[in-house]
Structure 1
Amino acid sequence: MKKIILGIMAIVLFSCNNKGSLQKYFVENSESSNFISLDVTPSIINTEKLTLSQKDKETLSSFEKMNILAFKKDSLNVKVYDVEKEKVKGLLKDEAYQELLKIGSGSEGGALYYVGDEEKINEFVLFANSKENGFAVVRILGDDMNPTRIMNLISLINKSDVKLDEFKALQNMLK
């Protein structure tokens, strides 16, 4: 019995590594005064007035939630901004994140990453950076998503009456 317990403990210890993850980064920084953190559920998309096709319903069912973490840069936290931005870039270099799209330049721009294979994506990550304002990391989580469904989701968000109350803190940060 003692050998079984020691074996289980060894497996747990070896399977838990100290390697950082984007999820861990979100948790560690969600309470920081330098960050705004939002968790958005599918209920933000008000589809009551929309006629949904089967494709739309499949898109919505594949979307679980969206996590947003935004760093507001100001004159007092420039060095912290540089350190935090590099941490996120380092996390996104992990082999789990496949770059799908890159836009902009070094001072302003963004990149879209995904986790999974191209037809069964479990996570999309958008990293957007503005040298003047700060950066944001958006995680879109779901099951069996794909680029077409994400584009359809964006279209549904644009067509629906989005419940903007959840975004007030982020809007205030960008002012």
Structure 2
Amino acid sequence: MNSSIKTIIMMLFLVVTLQSCNQDPTLQSFYVDSELAPGFTSLDVPISLLKIDETLLDEEQQEAYDSVEKLSLIAFVAEEGNAEQMNIEYAKVQTILKNPKYEELMRGGNSTDGKFIVKCIGDGDNVDEFILLGNSNDKGFAVVRVLGDDMNFTKIMKLATVLDSGNIEETQLKEITKFFQ
């Protein structure tokens, strides 16, 4: 009986070990691995720091605002001599975002000014994460994660119009907007 317990424990250990080896990299692991690495800058911003006057929001914008918990940014800043490292790190993010769990919503830009792609985890009215990946040959690249519960892309886009008209330069989002200017 003692040997069968040992066998079960060894089998369980083997299954856990094999399963952990097969884990593909995630955006979260990329953030954790990169946030203190040379060339990177990171920022987490709770939605409350956006300083939005909620009395000006319509019903859909308010629903979108309530569904967002925080914005999380990691950016690799292009500098002289780090282009090769930037390309390696950018390729890592692109590989992660090829995972089928990330559904593509839109893409845009051009090869001169830069490109962007928006992806999400979830569907319809039940999105838990939106991901914006933007790159610029002369500035670097950034990944912005919009984290929340039961978010809706259409409503989030309507909320974005409020952000466009507001003065977000006075918040911690200054770093994000600076990168994309």
Return the TM-score normalized by structure 1: 0.84
Judge which range, 19-28 or 38-47, deviates more.
38-47
Q: Which residue of 1 aligns with 2:77?
A: 72
SS of 1:33's equivalent? coil
Q: Which residue of 1 aligns with 2:120?
A: 114
Residues 106-141 of structure 1 show CA distances to partners (whole Å, capped at 9, x for unaligned) of 451111001111221111000001011101100001
- Alpha carbons of structure 1 residues 159 and 79: separation in structure 2 relative to 1, 3 Å: same
Q: Does structure 1 retain, via aligned residues, the 8 Å contact 2:102–2:120?
A: yes
Percent identity between the aligned chains? 31
- Alpha carbons of structure 1 residues 23 and 104: separation in structure 2 relative to 1, 3 Å: same
Number of residue pairs matched by the alignment? 175
SS of 2:86's equivalent? helix
| Counterparts of 1:160 and 1:8, CA distance in 2 | 54
Let me know the Cα RMSD of the aligned residues: 2.6
Q: Runs of at least 4 residues of structure 1 off by over 6 A?
A: 171-175
Q: Which residue of 1 aligns with 2:138?
A: 132
Among 120, 142, 147, the residue aligned to 2:148: 142
- Alpha carbons of structure 1 residues 53 and 30: separation in structure 2 relative to 1, 3 Å: same
Among 164, 168, 174, the residue aligned to 2:170: 164
Runs of 5+ consecutive residues of structure 1 not aligned to the other structure: none
| Counterparts of 1:168 and 1:156, CA distance in 2 | 16
| Counterparts of 2:178 and 2:169, CA distance in 1 | 16
Residues 80-127 of structure 1 show CA distances to partners (whole Å, capped at 9, x for unaligned) of 011011111111101111111110234511110011112211110000
Q: Are 2:90 and 1:85 equivalent residues in the alignment?
A: yes
- Alpha carbons of structure 1 residues 47 and 168: separation in structure 2 relative to 1, 3 Å: closer
Q: Are 2:161 and 1:155 equivalent residues in the alignment?
A: yes
| Counterparts of 2:53 and 2:110, CA distance in 1 | 40
Q: Are 2:64 and 1:50 equivalent residues in the alignment?
A: no
Bigger radius of gyration: 2
| Counterparts of 1:120 and 1:170, CA distance in 2 | 26
Runs of 5+ consecutive residues of structure 2 not aligned to the other structure: none
Q: Does structure 1 retain, via aligned residues, the 8 Å contact 2:120–2:130?
A: yes
| Counterparts of 2:101 and 2:159, CA distance in 1 | 23
Q: Are 2:37 and 1:32 equivalent residues in the alignment?
A: yes
